[in-house]
Amino acid sequence: MRRLWILIGFWGTAVAWLGAQEHPFSTFFSDHTLRVDYYHAGTAAREEIVLEALYRLEGWPGSRVNLIDTLNRGHYLLRVFDHRTQQLIYSRGFSTLFNEWQTTEEAKNGGRKIIHETVRVPFPKRPILVEIVSRDKKNRFTQIIFSGVIDPKDGSIRAERRDSNVRVHPLLENGAPEKHVDVVIIGEGFRAEEWEGFVGRARALVDTLFTLSPFKEYRSRFNVYAIMVPSPESGTDDPRAGVFKQTPLNTSFNTFGLQRYLMTYDNRRLQDIASAVPYDAIMILVNTRKYGGGGVYNLYACTAAFHQWTPYVFVHEFGHSFAGLGDEYYTSRVAYSEFYPKGTEPWEPNLTALLHPPQVKWQRLVTPGIPIPTPWGKETYDRLNDEFGKKLSEWRRRKVSGEKMKILSRKYRQKIERFFEEHPYQGAVGAFEGAGYASQGLYRPALDCIMFSRTLKGFDPVCTDAIEQMIRFIAR
């Protein structure tokens, strides 16, 4: 009798143990995606989220193992709880155009804005509590700006096929979406007969991306698709030139009044088109020769397809959108940047306010023996920059020919390159002052990087590491 009791006891424990070991993905989720569309509205100081529509999509392209985001990137955090047990079952950091808009003059002058956004969650089996949390001034996730229960049995969840006009061409196929990073490159402003040109350009740019570390080493962990909806017109909007084109994604230059900021607000359309294939990351390639682009973490990257610097912009913007890397460049005239308030550590993995020197947040990658902060001849670099800037504006005033200007740019670029090449800390990791648009108070990990200057020489070791972490997180 006693023995039987022991057996039953053991069996009970075994069942409990097996239950705990059951895959959390299949416990809470099915092999579909819940797309949550909402409006993000507010002012510089206030923000609010209002649900718009729910969709059920085929398949879940993300990881089934890494369900909780441990990377701490992005301005917002999506948190999903099992409603009954209050257990956190999914989370993901992201940024938006809204939080960027909050730093614009329009916002500071009392403006209001409303932007359509989407978050995606593996489709739940039971009701979930969805929270969107914003960072406070100290960059901690403390402000819950949305909280609501979603029942997977809700009859209003839309389940129709999204868009049947999408053309798809796989550029790289390595296996199951949930175990790979799936990148979708969307052609924008290409007419039907320009499809071949788009695919060719996308292929060339993807080839460039995979010549660089760590993408090169992780090539077999990626799937890449080129897709597009044929556009009624060729090109994109350029409001300052009075040019407006009818295109599927409604991209435009001059976003937030910045000519080179080529982006789209048409998130609903973007999501409809992108979901023709499984995707973890979106890149938009716009049919224009003008210089422009942008990238927002876990939203999308956008690049002009045919400018001479396109390969560089393509990789740089992907650094923003895929890995949440910050801009490492600055101008010598701006001491502090409002993007990064003084005394607050940026969440971007490659920027630091160096609040507790000699400790740096990328400590394990720091070159042994290097001084922190790292003296790097900033005055010389700034002087070169200033000389060039002054000459450029003087020559512009005197209407010097474009050819001569090009020579001037090239000469200046060579001087800077020599400065980097002959530098004793070339290739080293330390804390170099001048980053995140600010000349002082913010530090970058290395002398040079794709996030610092217009170069395709590569990402610095800290950026490389941050990208690698993201690949391992998604492709597992």
Q: Which residues bind Zn ion (CB under 5 A)?
A: 327
Tell me whether residue 100 or residue 280 sits nearer to Zn ion (CB atom): 100
* Minimum distance from residue 445 beta carbon to Zn ion (Å): 16
* Minimum distance from residue 320 beta carbon to Zn ion (Å): 6
**Which strands make up the sheet holding 47-58, listed edge to edge?**
47-58, 29-42, 113-124
Q: How far apart are CA 100 and CA 33, in angstroms?
A: 27
Q: Among all residues, whose Cβ is closest to Zn ion?
A: 327
| Residue 129: count of CB within 10 angstroms of its CB | 17
| Residue 103: count of CB within 10 angstroms of its CB | 13
Tell me whether residue 69 or residue 327 sits nearer to Zn ion (CB atom): 327
Q: How many CA atoms lie within 13 A of 135 on its CB side?
A: 21
Q: At what angle do helices 378-397 and 402-421 cross, to 10 degrees?
A: 180
* Minimum distance from residue 294 beta carbon to Zn ion (Å): 8
> 45: Cβ–Cβ under 8 A, 6 or more apart, which residues?
none
Q: How many CA atoms lie within 13 A of 358 on its CB side?
A: 10
Q: How far apart are CA 248 and CA 232, in angstroms?
A: 8
Tell me whether residue 228 or residue 442 sits nearer to Zn ion (CB atom): 442
* Minimum distance from residue 332 beta carbon to Zn ion (Å): 18
Tell me whether residue 90 or residue 297 sits nearer to Zn ion (CB atom): 297
> 161: Cβ–Cβ under 8 A, 6 or more apart, which residues?
none
Tell me whether residue 230 or residue 458 sits nearer to Zn ion (CB atom): 458
Tell me whether residue 327 or residue 433 sits nearer to Zn ion (CB atom): 327
* Minimum distance from residue 328 beta carbon to Zn ion (Å): 9
Q: How far apart are CA 152 and CA 210, in angstroms?
A: 39
* Minimum distance from residue 451 beta carbon to Zn ion (Å): 7
